[in-house]
Amino acid sequence: MLNIVLFGPPGSGKGTQSEKIIEHYGLTHFSTGDMLRAELAAETELGLRAKSIMEKGELVPDDIIIGMIRKRITGQKDARGFIFDGFPRTVAQAEALDKLLDELGMQINVMLGLEVDRQELIDRLLKRGNEQGRSDDNLETIENRIRVYEDQTSPVMGYYQGQGKYRGVDGIGSIEDIFSRLSGIIDNL
C-alpha cells in the first residue's frame, strides 16, 4: 500500500496535486476540508458546529476530525492506498492517524510538503475566492488561516521529519512541473 500525506499551507496546491496523484496512482482521497464542506452543505449537526470555525479560518477540534477519518477509513481495506490532504493539521491528529493506521496494519510512507511563499499563497487564494466563491477565501480569513498553519500545523512537519518521512518540494511552477517533482519522489520510494 502507498499512503501519502500531502502537506503545505492553504493555497499551496494540495487539492490540485491530490487529483493528479489519485488519477496516476489510483489512491483513495481523504480531504478533511471537502468532508467538512459536505457536512456543511447537508446541514448536519457536525456541519453546523464546524461552520463558524471554518469561516474564521480556525481549526475544527481534533476529536471531530479524527472521528471523521476513523469512520471513513475502516472498511477501506481493499484500497490501493490513501492520500491525506489537509490532514493531519495538528501533532495530535498525526499521532491519532499513526495509531489508527497501526490498528489496521498500515503506515504512512511519505509526507510530501508543497513549499510556497506567503505572498504567492495570498494571491492564489484571493484568485480562488473570486473564481469558486469559497467563503473562507477572503483576505481576513486567508491571513488567519496562514497564521493558524504557522502556529498549529507547521509542527506536523517536524513530527514526520522525526520519522524520516518528510520530503519537501518546490510548489511554484506549472501544475505538470510540480506533479513531476512529486511523482519523482513517489516512484523512488
Q: What residues make contact with ligand AMP under the rule CB under 6 A?
A: 10, 32-33, 36, 53-54, 57-60, 65, 86-87, 89, 93, 136, 145
Q: How far is CA 153 from CA 40, 61, 75, 105, 159, in A?
A: 23, 13, 28, 26, 10
Shortest approach of ligand AMP to residue 142 CB, angstroms? Answer: 10
The distance in angstroms from the start CA to the end CA of the chain is 12
Q: Closer CB to ligand AMP, residue 82 or residue 87?
A: 87
Q: Closer CB to ligand AMP, residue 153 or residue 188?
A: 153
Please say whether the beta carbons of 128 and 11 come within 8 A: yes
Indicate which residues carry an active-site annotation. Answer: 14, 89, 128, 134, 145
Cα–Cα dist 31/145, whole Å:
17
Shortest approach of ligand AMP to residue 156 CB, angstroms? Answer: 10
Q: How many residues does the chain have?
A: 189
Q: Closer CB to ligand AMP, residue 27 or residue 36?
A: 36
Cα–Cα dist 153/57, whole Å:
13
Shortest approach of ligand AMP to residue 187 CB, angstroms? Answer: 26
Residue 59 φ then ψ, to 5°: -95, 140
Q: Closer CB to ligand AMP, residue 40 or residue 110?
A: 40
Shortest approach of ligand AMP to residue 109 CB, angstroms? Answer: 19
23: Cα separation from own chain's centroid? 17
Q: How far is CA 22 from CA 38, 45, 162, in A?
A: 20, 30, 27
